[in-house]
């Protein structure tokens, strides 16, 4: 362990990771960024996530930094024996394979905990125990089942969120479970199994809408059909087709917005004097505002909105974030050496701890790069 690792909060915690895709790797990356030694077990030839095409092409780089790579064939008796021995030298096991696979391989919590009672074992699943628990799940599946797709798309057109929200948040909850289990182990001396699941994660995201129904008796409409609580809270098309979200959520902000866009007639209209009055005529108001905004350019209007304290946002594509000045200045986008020797910019955890950002400490591991280093330690300990 180097000096930089020693300064991090999870220094000294050792994790072995049997994961692929997004959910389990996210959990491991969070622990690794916070200082844990995370050993990723890959099959011969490497984790297939490394070679995904299309929208999956960035998965491996995004969620596997700061880890070591060890190649083991856990489908063989020898590989399973080595994996079991390695688990005995670790504090935490992470896995996110299909239901029943780790049990079939003899690497589930029930078996390993008998030999290693201090072990913390995190299973990333589709569903927690219940009628659905043996179903295979994908982020898209649980978004449909968990209310998120219904709330995101227009009526009759359920739409999945534009990123792997449940996989990523499922990994986050797995990491939260690890931190709590480590704290509890300090008191009890025993480990435990932690389960994090996609479906329950998605329902948690939808819980505010569930309570909306519980309190009103009315099913909440999808977000595109919602009745806004604020009169000015929308995406407007400006000159040359540019777009800007603008939200004026108080009477004071509405008057300020009228001043910024030089619309004194709106500020003086008694029918628009309060937010409640404006919401009552919202479609007509948005049409009038749209006609005014169409005469403004984003590059001219945005700084005036910022100076006036009006909430606004340009519609930004992910590729444009690679050059975002705030991300770069705040240290949230940093260089990382890739497994092919090239360089890329990666997004760090959205955390500032004691004035520091947990960052990139090692290059993205090549397939099996640390196999000899890690497994030789097993042989050395046997000799002792």
pLDDT at 5 over 80: no
Among the candidates 315, 334, 368, a domain finishes at 315
3-state secondary structure of 74: coil
44 with 129, same domain? yes
Among the candidates 257, 288, 315, a domain finishes at 315
328 with 311, same domain? no
Write down the H helix ranges in the chain. 3-6, 23-33, 59-63, 77-87, 101-104, 109-115, 139-145, 148-152, 165-188, 198-216, 251-260, 264-268, 275-280, 282-293, 298-308, 318-321, 325-329, 371-383
**Contact, 43 vs 2, CB < 8 A?**
no
Q: Which of 70, 123, 122, 120 is nearest to 90 (CA)?
A: 120
Confidence of residue 383 (pLDDT cuts 50, 70, 90): low
pLDDT at 241 over 70: yes
292 with 166, same domain? no
Integer Cα distance of 152 and 140 in angstroms: 13
Q: What is the pLDDT of residues 91-128, one digit of tens each?
A: 999 999 999 999 999 999 999 999 999 999 999 999 99
Task: State the total domains in the chain.
Answer: 2
In a domain, 124, yes or no: yes
In a domain, 211, yes or no: no
Contacts of 336 (CB under 8 A, 6+ apart): 61, 65, 343, 344, 345, 346, 360, 363, 364
Q: What is the pLDDT of residue 2?
A: 61
240 with 337, same domain? no
Integer Cα distance of 61 and 65 in angstroms: 7
pLDDT at 249 over 90: yes
Q: What is the pLDDT of residues 284-297, one digit of tens each?
A: 999 999 999 999 99
38 with 163, same domain? yes
Integer Cα distance of 80 and 87 in angstroms: 10
**Contact, 64 vs 46, CB < 8 A?**
no
**How far is CA 30 from each of CA 23, 62, 196, 308, rounded to the nearest angstrom?**
11, 11, 15, 38
Q: At 121, phi and psi to the nearest 5?
A: -125, 120
Integer Cα distance of 63 and 50 in angstroms: 11
- Expressed in angstroms, the distance from the first to the final Cα of the chain is 21
Query: Over pLDDT 70: what percentage of the chain?
Result: 97
In a domain, 291, yes or no: yes
Q: What is the pLDDT of residues 337-355, one digit of tens each?
A: 999 999 999 999 999 999 9
Integer Cα distance of 210 and 204 in angstroms: 10
pLDDT at 384 over 60: no
CATH code of residue 310: 3.30.1540.10
Q: Which of 361, 252, 337, 237 is nearest to 294 (CA)?
A: 237
371 with 234, same domain? no
176 with 291, same domain? no
In a domain, 216, yes or no: no
Q: What is the pLDDT of residues 163-176, one digit of tens each?
A: 999 999 999 999 99
pLDDT at 362 over 80: yes
In a domain, 219, yes or no: no
Among the candidates 267, 289, 315, a domain finishes at 315
Q: What is the pLDDT of residue 280?
A: 95
331 with 266, same domain? no
178 with 278, same domain? no
Confidence of residue 1 (pLDDT cuts 50, 70, 90): low
Q: Which of 18, 13, 14 is nearest to 80 (CA)?
A: 18
Angle of CA points 207, 212, 217, to nearest 5°: 130
When pLDDT is averaged across residues 56-81 and rounded to a whole number, the result is 98
Q: What is the pLDDT of residue 205?
A: 97
3-state secondary structure of 222: coil
In a domain, 221, yes or no: no
Cβ count within 10 A of residue 184: 14
CATH code of residue 32: 3.40.50.10540
The backbone region for 262, taken as left when phi is positive above 0, alpha when psi lies in -120 to 50, beta otherwise, is left
346 with 291, same domain? no
Query: Over pLDDT 90: what percentage of the chain?
Result: 95
Listed range (43-52, 87-96, 132-141, 209-218) with the worst mean pLDDT: 132-141
In a domain, 223, yes or no: no
265 with 234, same domain? yes
In a domain, 215, yes or no: no
pTM of the model: 0.94
146 with 295, same domain? no
Q: What is the pLDDT of residue 7?
A: 87
- Which residue range(s) make up the domain with 301? 228-315
Q: What is the pLDDT of residue 4?
A: 65
Q: What is the pLDDT of residues 174-229, one digit of tens each?
A: 999 999 999 999 999 999 999 999 999 999 999 999 999 999 999 999 999 887 88
Q: What is the pLDDT of residue 124?
A: 98
DSSP 276-305: HHHHHTHHHHHHHHHHHHTTS-HHHHHHHH
Which residue has tokens 């700061």? 66
The backbone region for 51, taken as left when phi is positive above 0, alpha when psi lies in -120 to 50, beta otherwise, is alpha
Q: What is the pLDDT of residue 226?
A: 81
Q: What is the pLDDT of residue 120?
A: 98
Which residue has tokens 């095409």? 53
pLDDT at 305 over 90: yes
């Amino acid at each position: 362990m180097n000096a930089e690792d020693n300064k991090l909060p999870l220094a000294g915690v050792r994790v072995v990771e049997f994961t692929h895709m997004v959910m389990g790797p996210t959990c491991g990356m969070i622990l690794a960024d916070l200082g844990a030694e995370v050993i990723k077990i890959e099959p011969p030839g490497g984790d297939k996530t490394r070679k995904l095409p299309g929208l999956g092409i960035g998965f491996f780089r995004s969620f596997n930094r700061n880890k070591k790579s060890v190649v083991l064939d856990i489908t063989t008796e020898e590989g399973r024996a080595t994996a079991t021995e390695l688990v005995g030298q670790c504090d935490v096991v992470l896995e996110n394979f299909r239901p029943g696979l780790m049990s079939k391989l003899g690497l589930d919590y029930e078996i390993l905990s008998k030999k290693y009672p201090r072990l913390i074992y995190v299973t990333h699943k589709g569903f927690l125990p219940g009628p659905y628990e043996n179903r295979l799940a994908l982020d898209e599946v649980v978004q449909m089942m968990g209310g998120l797709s219904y709330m995101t798309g227009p009526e009759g057109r359920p739409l999945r969120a534009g990123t792997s929200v449940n996989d990523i948040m499922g990994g986050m909850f797995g990491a939260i479970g690890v931190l709590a289990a480590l704290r509890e182990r300090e008191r009890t001396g025993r480990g435990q199994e932690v389960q994090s699941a996609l479906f329950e994660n998605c329902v948690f995201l939808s819980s505010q809408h569930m309570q909306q129904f519980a309190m009103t008796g009315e099913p909440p409409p999808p977000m595109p059909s919602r009745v806004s609580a604020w009169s000015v809270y929308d995406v407007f098309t400006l000159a040359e087709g540019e777009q800007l979200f603008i939200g004026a959520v108080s009477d004071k902000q509405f008057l300020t917005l009228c001043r910024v866009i030089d619309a004194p007639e709106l500020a003086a209209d008694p029918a628009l004097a309060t937010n409640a009055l404006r919401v009552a005529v919202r479609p007509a108001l948005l049409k009038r505002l749209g006609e005014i905004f169409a005469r403004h350019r984003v590059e001219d209007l945005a700084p005036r909105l910022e100076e006036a304290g009006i909430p606004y946002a340009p519609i930004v594509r992910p590729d444009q974030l690679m050059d975002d000045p705030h991300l770069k200045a705040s240290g949230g986008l940093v260089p990382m050496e890739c497994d092919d020797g090239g360089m890329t910019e990666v997004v760090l955890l959205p955390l500032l701890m004691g004035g520091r950002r947990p960052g990139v400490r090692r290059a993205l591991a090549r397939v099996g790069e640390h196999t000899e280093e890690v497994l030789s330690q097993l042989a050395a300990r046997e000799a002792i």
